[in-house]
Amino acid sequence: MSYNNIMDKYIEDFLDYCEIERGHSPLTKRNYEHYLSRFANWGKDNGLSKPSDINLEKIKKYRLFLNRLTDKFGKPLKKQTQNYHIIALRAFLKYLAKNDVKTLSAEKIELADVPDREISFLSEEELDRLFAEPNVKKTIGLRDRTILEVLFSTGLRVSELVKLNKDQIDSNRGEFSIIGKGGKARVVFLSDSAKESLKKYLGSRNDEDKAVFVRHGRKKSEIRNPKSETNSNVQNIKFKKTEVRNQMEESPDKKKPSGRLTTRTVQRILRKYAKKAGIIKKVTPHTLRHSFATDLLTSGADLRSVQTMLGHSSITTTQIYTHVTNQQLKEVHSAFHGKRKKN
């Protein structure tokens, strides 16, 4: 960030503080930089050159600016995204106050009310259909079934899943520690079926790759490209992107994985099996995380325990699942209330 004014310098100092003293992840720091750069750029055109220029009137105008801001498709920023801008700004103001810099108090800026976040999760019947799709007689099918089992059993984020290494997991104990979002450690647990799938999958491999989930197949550079062949050889060949992926995954040499799976690949895996299972709703790795949490709550788990297992910093985040238990209570009420026998 170039120092066009003193505000830019303070923002840069704040980002260094986030990295060094607060220990925030690179992603968190990058998000703060994005939101505060937008504020600083807006401020240059609206009389904000130093922290003491920030007041409630300026903040009101900035929030109006955010509310009217549109992306390249003409869509306005979501209310939650606007709140992310304000959260970053409040963190910046708290940092300034901590360093005795005269500015607006962060407590004077309120976050906007946003609609309750809707979550998508799978029913027991949908989960059964999804899990039945991978062909576990093949290495790739066994891997994919294990991915589904582990995601649903642990509630892992997809970013946490793809970072797993074999030496982290003792499939006999059925539990292991991970470093999750914000560098926070937590313990996750494997169900019996997840343990069994994991044992079979890892036992089927004969490679030295440290990653738990890897790509089985040839590298892209080794895949035959019909476009480079003569017309006579490719005249009757229909070459699609899906076929490229199939060649990568189904090569004869299945004992030589070509690297750790990416989050994007895991997302594609879930979409593929959801479509094959006839599940209409959008299914992502986070859908299985939601399914994990709702399954625990509807089975009687308390919210604090679910918060710990999900790795949420605040129980407020976990409370997005309470509508599920509320619905369950409603069904119980409907089934049993007012059913007294008449004399």
Fold agreement (6-108, 124-217+253-329): no
Confidence check: pLDDT of 208 > 80: yes
Residue with tokens 């500015």: 103
Tell me what the mean pLDDT of segment 30-48 comes to. Answer: 93
For residue 78, indicate whether it is catalytic.
Answer: no
Residues 6+ apart with CB under 8 A from 123: none
For residue 63, indicate whether it is catalytic.
Answer: no
- How many other CB atoms sit within 10 Å of the CB of residue 148? 22
pLDDT score of 119: 76
Distance CA 307, CA 333 (A): 26
| Banded pLDDT at 306 (limits 50, 70, 90) | confident
Q: Which of 157, 195, 205, 215 is catalytic?
A: 157
pLDDT score of 37: 94
For residue 337, indicate whether it is catalytic.
Answer: no
Strand ranges inside the chain, DSSP E: 175-179, 185-189, 214-216, 257-260
pTM surpassing 0.85? no
The residue type found at 258 is: S
Q: Which of 50, 138, 181, 272 is catalytic?
A: 181
More confident position, 240 or 76: 76
Yes or no: is domain 124-217+253-329 CATH 1.10.150.110? no
For the segment 225-260, what is each residue's pLDDT rounded down to a tens digit? Answer: 444 444 434 434 433 444 344 434 443 344 445 599
For residue 286, indicate whether it is catalytic.
Answer: yes
Distance CA 56, CA 48 (A): 12
Q: Report the candidate in 124, 200, 157, 122 with the shortest Cα–Cα distance to residue 27.
A: 157
For the chain, give every domain's residue range.
6-108, 124-217+253-329
Distance CA 17, CA 38 (A): 19
CATH topology of domain 6-108: DNA polymerase; domain 1 (1.10.150)
pLDDT score of 174: 86
- Whether the CB-CB separation of 49 and 7 falls below 8 Å is answered with yes
pLDDT score of 65: 96
Distance CA 65, CA 67 (A): 5
Q: Report the candidate in 290, 272, 321 with the shortest Cα–Cα distance to residue 135.
A: 272
For the segment 105-133, what is each residue's pLDDT rounded down to a tens digit? Answer: 999 999 887 666 667 888 889 999 999 99
Share of the chain above pLDDT 90, in %: 51
